[in-house]
Amino acid sequence: MFVGAIFFPLLGACISGFLGRWIGDKAAQWSTVICMVLAAICGSLAFGQVALSGHPVTVEIVTWMDVGGLEFAWALRYDTLAAVMVAMVTFISTLIHLYSVGYMSHDETPSRFFAYLSLFTFMMLMLVTADNLAQLFFGWEGVGLASYLLIGYWYDRESANRAAMKAFIVNRVGDVSFMLGVALTFYVFGSIEFDTIFAAVPQHLEDRFGGIPALELIGVLLFIGACGKSAQLGLHTWLPDAMEGPTPVSALIHAATMVTAGVFLVCRMSPVFEYAPTALAVVTVVGASTALFAATIGCVQNDIKRVIAYSTCSQLGYMFFAAGVGAYQVAMFHLFTHAFFKALLFLGAGSVIHAMSDEQDIRKMGGIWSKIPITYAVMWIGNLALAGIPFFAGYYSKDAILEAAFASHSGVGMYAFLCGMIAAFLTAFYSWRLLILTFHGAPRADHHTMEHVHESPAVMLIPLLLLAVGAVLTGYIFAPLFIGEHEHGFWHGAILNAEHNHILHAMHEVPAWVPLAPTVMGIGGIALAYVFYMLAPGIPGRLATAFRGLYLFLLNKWYFDELYDAIFVRPARRLAMVFWKTGDAQIIDGMPNGAASLAVGVARGAVRIQTGRVANYAFAMIIGLVVFVSLFLIGR
Amino acid sequence: MTWTLALPELVLAIAGLVILVAGVLPKQETFFPVSMACIGSLLLAAVLVLGQPEGTALGGHYVADDFSGFMKLLAIGGAAIGILLSLDYNTKEGLGRFEFPLLMLLATIGMMVMISANDLLSLYLGLELLSLPLYVIAAFNRDSARSAEAGLKYFVLGALASGLLLYGSSLVYGFAGTTNFDRLADAFSADSGVTAGVVVGIVFVIAGLAFKVSAVPFHMWTPDVYEGAPTPVTAFFAAAPKVAAIALLARVLVGPFGDLAGQWQQVITLVSLGSMTLGGFAAIGQRNIKRLMAYSSIGHVGYALMGLAVANDVGLRGLLVYMAIYVAMNLGTFAVLIAMRRKGRAVEQVEDLAGLGRTDLGTAVWMAVFMFSMAGIPPLAGFFGKLYVFLAAVQAGFWTLAVVGVLTSVVSAYYYLRIVKVMFFDAPAGALDPAPASLTVVMAASGLFTLFFVLWPAPLLAAAQAAAAALLG
């Protein structure tokens, strides 16, 4: 069961990837789906046993490395934290595999797509069940690889290739920091196995590395790694571009699972972070800033998938600042509910794109709600959950995050609370902007496209409906377990809250207006969207003209890409150019080329002596003799 | 009388006379049986050399020791394989006359006398006995102007070299009062200083011998003669006589003139430097592969002389190992060159090898092995040959020699590898005729030696060590 949940996806990936050519696309697709169903069953059972019944286990597979003091194994660590992730990942991945069968039906190489998708799932599961940092890093890089392959899946598109490379390279920046963090962990603790590290934290509270408290440094380094994977402010630029991949990929990797790996990492390392207050403050500030920053950009984007991508970025910011104020459980809860409604939103968007003949610009949509009613309904559900409207999943988790931020009573906590509040308002606004522009109003697509608008096939609708159920119910059902009264028994020590951390109690004792505020903000945002885009459609245009600078600033995503291009990309290219033209072509190539032409010259000279005339030869001999004799006589 | 010590030479001489008579008598051409008889006699001589006791004979003119044994076996082996290589070629080119193997046999006797010489006179005797048959076989294809030219050039320049040698000998005799190596050694070690006449005499002797090993600046004849002579003759020139002349050079310089090492070392160093450099560069532009091999052999002599310039036991061991490996891979290479025929006509341009890797993989692979080995690529035998001489030079502090040696072997790698490139990557110029069995056997034998020397180098090293020790006394 424990092993099956992880390795069924790998089996599926191998079948589809290596045998897909022989067994045919249909068989390859369905074999991965079946493997995923089996994995999901195993995952759910594991969740039941580990999280609900409270029996964490660690399954050791084989010793991986045993070098000097460094020893670790391939092992599956099933505690509640891992079990939650395994159940969620396998469940959502199964639905997305199923959805992809319909979505990718017109593709030419679906077996390759499904192989990548299953490979990704396997790597993600490796990541979450790792019992040491090396295995976690293996999964970490594995999901990065799968992400690269899937973003660039349509490799004949230049933009897809660029996006894939961008995602990979930006992630490398975070990975360097992650690796440094792992190395420093080994330096400080002498081990990279979680149990050993966590047990040894109290002995290393005073350790310093280069004058900086070692735990703080580890925390910050690991967090920068997490920033890369989870697209936090500064390293977020790859996520919107990653929407070049097929939509199911966006749903699975760039919304529900991979991008949350950073949050998972912070929660997993909670015993270390708990004793690194500065690192936690950094996490809070970066998370809160991202939440606000991404929400502002989301308000003006026109590509349906990019809007949702910035929304993802923003929601990840929420999770980080929840973890930053010490409420890891709340962060995990939001991660869990977010996975459902964000996957739902992406798949719904995919359904819209499918219906609109691959059109992604919401300015060219509109007036299609009656033609695709089911998609329309599930998009509503997804957006209600995202906006945090009461009794949908997002309401429980987002409220809890803001309460926790408020309850932390620290400067950074209040900053996070404020950012979160504004972001909640903006989230609701851009969600309904998306909804209204996409489905309502007069049709702005051409006649030909409108005629072909159709509801998606059942194989795509079933996953949508299941996720919609999740988006409605997961908050209500799981809130008591994740963050409510059963929280202690549920987590079973998988997440550590130090003695000084009472946030989970404090968050229930905030003033009465605090739990209400996010809902008010959400409804306000929705109302504003209705005013702007339904009742008085002229206002957005006038605002954009009036605040042209601000509008362009947001539309161009705060000019991050341009900034990075100017600071890093172009200087690097110029430097490379110098090395290539001068260093390589002139100096390095010049030396052997010069030597070679010299050799040719010498050879010509040597051959010219060879005249073919005996007299010359004899003369050369005599000259040589004379030279030697004189040399001999002088040197004597 | 201790003439029995010279049994190998005597047996070979008598066998040569008997075969000569036997070859003349029959009506029809006796090329093949005579060749076989010559090879048989050479093998017999080799066996006798193996059983030869140590000592001096014939009034101190003749010496037998480990050094002479080693070199004689090498020379006899080279000569026997040289005859083997000529069998097919001579028949096809209309050169299948019985005098050919016989002349090689006589030359071999000359070499053996040279190697065992312990007196300036026996040295000269052996050298002339070697040279005269060589002049003849260089011009053996007398209908070809190039062959005749080669023979004539070799004769004229060879006569000059002989004259230099003889003049040098007379100078040495005039100033030292003896021609016997042992007594010369005594004379030079007793005297505190040497007269200028002796010095000039030594240089003249060196010049005469350097001509035979085609070392710079006495190498000028080599490319022309190698190109003009029939290919089996070139193969013979490049192997056996070189061994004998190198042996003689080593014996003369280390033996009687051993105490003057400080003086002749610089001459040998210069000769070595010049040969390595010329061998490395001049071959680059060559299109005729025999001419290319001529420059290649000049370069190899330069490397071998590096061992002599060091003039200690490590250096001499390196020299001997180098010569043994050189003879082996050179004979293999020439087996390939002799096999180069297209539609019955011999071809000898580098381009004629184009695409050999596709038309005749076996031959091409052996050729590649020889070329890589000559370029000194590990783990082939040629690498170890270079390794031992470079090692000696570095240990003894001859940095210039070692550095120039390494650099020129880089340069020479170019033209060796170019042949490999032409064989495997150029478009085929048309298939070559299949190689006859005798040549394939030689190719395979020397190819296997070149390939697997790395696994079992001890016997050769031990023999070379013993020979070097014998020479240094």
Q: Could you tell me which chain B residue has the CA closest to the CA of A602? A: B281
Among candidates B263, B283, B414 on the partner chain, residue whose Cβ is nearest the Cβ of A632: B263
- Contact (CB, 8 A) for A272 and A218: yes
Which residue, among B147, B146, B195, B149, has the nearest Cα to B174 in the 3D structure? B195
Asked whether the predicted pLDDT for residue B313 surpasses 70, the reply is yes
| Host H or E run for residue B77 | helix B66-93
**A590-621 pLDDT, tens digit each:** 888 888 888 888 888 877 777 778 888 888 88
Confidence of residue B286 (pLDDT cuts 50, 70, 90): confident
**Which has more pLDDT, A51 or B154?**
B154
A589 CA to chain B: closest CA distance, Å? 17
DSSP tag of A76: E
Confidence of residue A636 (pLDDT cuts 50, 70, 90): low
B200–A633 CB contact, under 8 Å: yes
Looking at residue A584, its pLDDT comes to 83
A620 CA to chain B: closest CA distance, Å? 7
Q: Could you tell me which chain A residue has the CA closest to the CA of B206? A: A625
Give the pTM.
0.65
Looking at residue A635, its pLDDT comes to 67
Which residue, among B461, B469, B320, B314, has the nearest Cα to B402 in the 3D structure? B314
3-class secondary structure, A587: helix
CA B196 to chain CA centroid, Å, is 32
**B76-105 pLDDT, tens digit each:** 999 999 999 999 998 888 888 899 999 999
Counting residues of chain B whose pLDDT is more than 90, the rounded percentage is 59
**B439-457 pLDDT, tens digit each:** 999 999 999 999 999 888 8
**B165-201 pLDDT, tens digit each:** 999 999 999 888 888 988 888 888 876 567 888 888 8
Query: CA A496 to CA A491: how far, in whole Å?
Result: 9
CB-neighbour burial class of residue B425 (10 A; exposed 0-12, middle 13-18, buried 19+): exposed
CA distances from B249 to A437, B212, B264, B471 (A): 100, 10, 11, 12
Please tell me the number of Cα atoms within 13 Å of A298 on its side-chain side: 29
Other Cβ atoms within 10 Å of A532 Cβ, number: 19
Residue-averaged pLDDT of chain A: 88
Looking at residue B432, its pLDDT comes to 85
Q: Which residues of B touch A591 (CB under 8 A)?
A: none
Asked whether the predicted pLDDT for residue A567 surpasses 70, the reply is yes
- Cα four-point dihedral sign A368, A370, A376, A381: positive
Q: Which residues of A touch B278 (CB under 8 A)?
A: 606
Looking at residue A609, its pLDDT comes to 77
Q: Could you tell me which chain A residue has the CA closest to the CA of B411? A: A599
Torsion on CA atoms B191, B180, B246, A605, rounded to nearest 10: 60
Confidence of residue B217 (pLDDT cuts 50, 70, 90): confident
DSSP tag of B436: P
Suggest the residue from B281, B286, B287 to mutate for an interface test with chain A (most A CBs closer than 10 A).
Answer: B281
DSSP tag of A154: S
Contacts of residue B310, defined as CB under 8 A and 6 or more positions apart, other chains included, come to B318, B389, B392, B393, B396, B398
B217–A624 CB contact, under 8 Å: yes
Looking at residue A54, its pLDDT comes to 81
A100 CA to chain B: closest CA distance, Å? 49
**A319-348 pLDDT, tens digit each:** 999 999 989 999 999 999 999 999 999 999
Suggest the residue from A609, A632, A633 to mutate for an interface test with chain B (most B CBs closer than 10 A).
Answer: A632
A621–B218 CB contact, under 8 Å: yes
Helix A393-407 and helix A513-530: axis angle, to 10°?
130
A628–B270 CB contact, under 8 Å: yes
Other Cβ atoms within 10 Å of A464 Cβ, number: 25
**A442-458 pLDDT, tens digit each:** 888 888 888 888 888 88
**Contacts A–B by Cβ distance under 8 A:** 85
Suggest the residue from A604, A610, A630 to mutate for an interface test with chain B (most B CBs closer than 10 A).
Answer: A610
Peptide bond between residue B379 and the one before it cis (omega within 30 degrees of 0):
yes
Q: Tokens for B58?
A: 């014939």
Helix A214-230 and helix A304-324: axis angle, to 10°?
160
Looking at residue A510, its pLDDT comes to 86
